[in-house]
Structure 1
Amino acid sequence: MKHQEKPTEENRTQWMEFVLVGFADMPRLQWFLFGLFLIIYIIILVSNGTIFLITKMDSALQSPMYYFLANFSFLEICYVSVTLPRMLMNLATQRRTISLIACAIQMYFVLIFASTECSLLTVMAYDRYVAICNPLHYPLVMNHRVCIQLVSVSWIPGIPIQIGQTCQVFSLNFCGSNQIDHFFCDMPPVFKLACGDTFVNEMLLCIVLVFYGMIPLLLIVGSYTKIISTILKLPSATTRAKAFSTCSSHLTVVVLFFGSAIITYLRPSHSGGASKVLSLFYTILIPMLNPMIYTLRNKDVIMALRKLLCI
């Protein structure tokens, strides 16, 4: 929260562009970082694109679980494409400036994709809940129409909410330094550049974090509490192991994504170095790991991948 006196009129400058500092404090590693992040970006595009492709093409992967996984993989491609190409360009050219409008657009898409990911992870938890706790009703409850509606609910409500939140942020006056100590236009580092009081904006951010962060997380925890309780009541150890294996991948992704996001946004201090490392984790590393998490223990996906590669 920020309560500083407004600068005098002659000292005030309304910036029309910012500088994304990124990793400028490591000048000797610029080309190494460019190569590393380029490889990561290619891995993310290829791995998530492959999962999206095989879940659409293979007849064995036409269940609701794989429909949600296809949407999740598409979302991950969109998510990283908002931040990584700009970061790669900054590393290659050393021109780190970004216009105010481009910064606002980037922030909006980061927010919309992040909020959609929270919602979609909740929907996937609900799918697992119905499949394990109400297996006889699963085909009826999770029909194709319901799946489309659940994905739509994950995407659509966040669009006007994040438009309003982004407009609120960029209605602030920015003066003094125009250097954003981050590799993309994230809200906390942008708040630091604002003149005057950002209390209202920070309260709106907290409300959105509760709506798109804490509530989905509580729903997921509630779903898995019921799921685990149901699994433990199953008579066969083999059946219990199989039921756990269908949930383990999703649960791992939930822990990684929500854990890193909560640490990032709920820390009392938003120091640049720590924020950048944590943001790298949930904006880049997790989208790279997700395809491996979902395929390593999934025999159906591995078989579909072998068919696609003719192995």
Structure 2
Amino acid sequence: MQSFDRHRRLRTSAGMRDLVRETHLHTEDLIYPLFVMEGEDIKNPVKSMPGVYQWSLDRVDTEVQEAVDLGIRSIILFGVPAEKDAVGSSAYDSEGIVQKAVRQIKAAYPDFTVIADTCLCQFTDHGHCGVVENGEILNDESLDLLVKTAVSQAEAGADIIAPSNMMDGFVTAIRSGLDEAGFKHVPVMSYAVKYASAFYGPFRDAAHSSPQSGDRKTYQMDPANRREAFREARSDVEEGADFLIVKPALSYLDIIRDIREREQLPIVAYNVSGEYSMIKAAAENGWIDEQAVVLEKITSMKRAGADLILTYFSKDIARWLQN
């Protein structure tokens, strides 16, 4: 008989498959998104995201404690303010919802890593990520407000600042602002490669951040572009970023791999709301095995080169990994 390779020798049992597994997922790889809002005794379900809630501050600690008990070590905070205006002033208010949540969580859980999403879209009445004038999103004027937001979050005790606005120069502006304010030790987790994706719809429901007019295509990236991602990531590295986020993750695994091969910083794959909600909907209809699909999907992000996974499935994954 003609000789051939016996690849199946390494698949003969669960123990053998575990022995040769190349990619491993750990609970400490997970970043759990948390939506916080003004009010009392609120656990408001996000209709388009089963299992995801908006939390008032008096109930936040319960949710954080559950994450801690599951072995999750970091969260990212998204704020839903009581009031909005044209310049998103509550984003950089020392008594803003994110700042209050950061102080509360760090006081109760000092060793827990709290990441603050740094953007204006949830806080502006027009829903854009910067200053708008005559229908145009102004880049440099927006940077000033984003710096104020980042510094106020660092002052509140945020461990990591995560700017998601996609204005040109946002990393260098925020890095300089943090340094000048005495926060040279606070890392910047840049949304370096963020596409103008159709997968963000449920998040906008959760964060109340839909644009009131137009779209975000003048500042977020064209989904058809690959080489542009290299330029965006390189700029952020040169400007002082400490982490690089690729968003969304599932439809952009090739981009995660590309960036991994070119850059040495830790890469974060953002498993976005639309990717989450599609699986939840299919699972609720009995069409798929949710656990198997989620773990396969998240593993693909690690295999592509991501070091960390920002996902709404964090608690589910942590439970599955314990079994």
Instruction: Tell me the TM-score normalized by structure 1.
Output: 0.29
Which is richer in strand?
Answer: 2
